[in-house]
Amino acid sequence: MKNVRPAPTQISLRGLSSHSMDVDWTNLAYIEGFGFRLDECLLVLKQSPRLVHCNFEDVGYRVSTGQRDEVHIVHKSVRWLWLDDRSNMANFFDVVSLPSLVYLAFAAEFQPSQALDSVTSFIRRSGCSLETLRITNGDLQEAPIIPLLEATPELYRLELFAVKLSDTLFQHLGETVLDVYNGEVKAFLPDLDSIDLYGALTIQLPGIALSGLGSFHVIHYIDDANSAIFRELISEDGVDLSITDSSNRNLIKDLEMLERSD
């Protein structure tokens, strides 16, 4: 039994190469890799047929030897993916399909403008029924976010963490809400129940309730200038809000008075 390699179900590596481990990857279900090269991430997918949860952070494009393997990878058991690629995430998404994926998170920081198109193609090619999409750290004001979301009709929750947005997304939600109510086949995000926004607001909030969302959560520093917006959303549009880090203490009192008056 001396030559039998360990076959872990979970692996977490920080600052170490995946090649530094002499293990049997067959039973691996969960991996956290910090600082992996792109080719290491792809190799993990190839070697781990039972993999369910992937967390690849601070991914680098550099490869160890030779050129990057261009063979397309189809992995049928991965359901959860977090990718933070510091070069170009298209290098990963262009060569991978994950048909069982239900949770996708990626960092948009430092990404070229066409990177979001690559994610859209990846989702359509995979044919996955994505339920949660989380995008972090990036400027999406000019990015093609509508085509990306059109590729996720089963989306239930959208999380946007420290991203800059234009009004386009929420205007589109308001304009297409009747299609959702009428049960149109090609309705925009008919199952969307929750949007979470974290960070500075770069959009106009009134009218978000037109999308028919179950909840709209905002974690944001609220000052006197925009506190009126939140009062309007809650009192008139009936949106559920989660608010933290507010310097405007009167906002809470005002909301309590609104509840009593109802």
Average pLDDT across the chain, whole number = 79
Between the CA atoms of 205, 206, 209 and 215, what dihedral angle is there, to the nearest 10 degrees? Answer: 40
Chain centroid to Cα 111, Å, comes to 15
pLDDT for residue 247: 52
Strand order in the sheet with 53-59: 10-14, 30-34, 53-59, 80-85, 103-107, 132-139, 157-164, 194-198, 215-219
Torsion angles phi and psi, residue 76, rounded to 5: -95, -5
- Res 108 pLDDT > 60: yes
pTM score, whole prediction: 0.79
d(CA 78, CA 58): 20
Torsion angles phi and psi, residue 173, rounded to 5: -60, -45
| pLDDT bucket at 74, cuts 50 / 70 / 90 | very high
pLDDT for residue 179: 77
Q: What is the pLDDT of residues 206-251, one digit of tens each?
A: 445 445 555 666 655 455 555 555 555 555 555 555 555 555 445 5
For 168, residues 6+ apart whose C-beta sits below 8 A from its C-beta are: 145, 146
- Structural domains of the chain sorted by starting position, each given as residue range(s) with its CATH number in brackets: 10-199 (3.80.10)
| pLDDT bucket at 19, cuts 50 / 70 / 90 | low
Unique residue bearing structure tokens 């976010």: 145
Unique residue bearing structure tokens 């309590």: 256
Neighbour-count burial of 246, counting CB atoms closer than 10 A to its CB (0-12 exposed, 13-18 middle, 19+ buried) = middle
Torsion angles phi and psi, residue 53, rounded to 5: -120, 120
For 43, residues 6+ apart whose C-beta sits below 8 A from its C-beta are: 18
For 175, residues 6+ apart whose C-beta sits below 8 A from its C-beta are: none
- Res 173 pLDDT > 60: yes
